[in-house]
Copies of this chain bind each other. A is one copy, B any other.
Amino acid sequence: MDLIESLQWRYATKKFNPEKSVSPEDLQTILEAGNLAATSYGLQPFQFVVVSDPDLRQQLVPFSYNQPQVGQASHVIVIAVRTDVDADFIRASAKLTEKKRGLEEGQLDGYAKQMIGAIMSMNDEQRIVWAQKQSYIVLANLMVACATLKIDSCPMEGFIPADYNRLLELDSKNLHASVVLPVGYRAEDDEQQSFAKVRKTLEEMTLNC
């Protein structure tokens, strides 16, 4: 199945089959695709929070405007952004690059300074928005990976971050829930799967210059 077919196959699953689980191998592949997402300066200002415990998933339902998917799905992947991106965090990223690329220690100090200048010129709120934007690239990669594996998913912005943060103990880890992706297998009777995909045409969506 090629990419376009996979993207056509994907839909925002409203009802999952709670009996079917995503295998550990497939989950690994999905997260790996997310981890390979491009992020600003390669800083990866996020964390995957994978909720597999059924009780915990059930407790997320009221914090998700009662959308049952988080309770039914095999796993709920919360992409949380880091609220502790600072000069040290950025320097650590440059150090990792030096190490992975066999560079001399300190070779990227100038580059780190440049990144710090760019990222730390934002105020806290702007920096959260910046990180959240990156988290949506990650989200997209997760969805594409799911679709290529014929695993269903449902991207969700409809949840209460403060309650997610509290229940999943994210605050104390300097994390903030950004966007949520239940993954699993569609229920046979999920009506949504038979609905035609709706998109404006590419002609309508494109300006050529």
Contact = CB atoms under 8 A, between A and B. Distances in A.
B199 A36 contact: yes
Interface string A165-207: 0001000010100010000000000000001111110100111
A66 interface: no
A101 B3 CA distance: 24
Nearest to A103: B195
A132 interface: yes
- Size category of the A interface is 35 or more
A29 interface: yes
Contact of A140 (B28, B37, B101, B132): B37
A90 interface: no
A143 B204 CA distance: 21
| Copies of this chain, count | 2
A38 interface: yes
Interface of A: 2-4, 7-8, 10, 12, 28-29, 31-33, 35-38, 40, 42, 44, 46-53, 56, 96-97, 100-102, 129, 132-134, 136-141, 143-145, 148, 155, 157, 168, 173, 175, 179, 195-200, 202, 205-209
A202 B28 contact: yes
Contacts of A141: 7, 140, 144
A38 B143 contact: yes
Contacts of A137: 136-137, 139-140, 143, 155
Given A145-B3, A209-B56, A209-B168, A8 B28 contact: no
B209 A49 contact: yes
A51 B96 contact: no
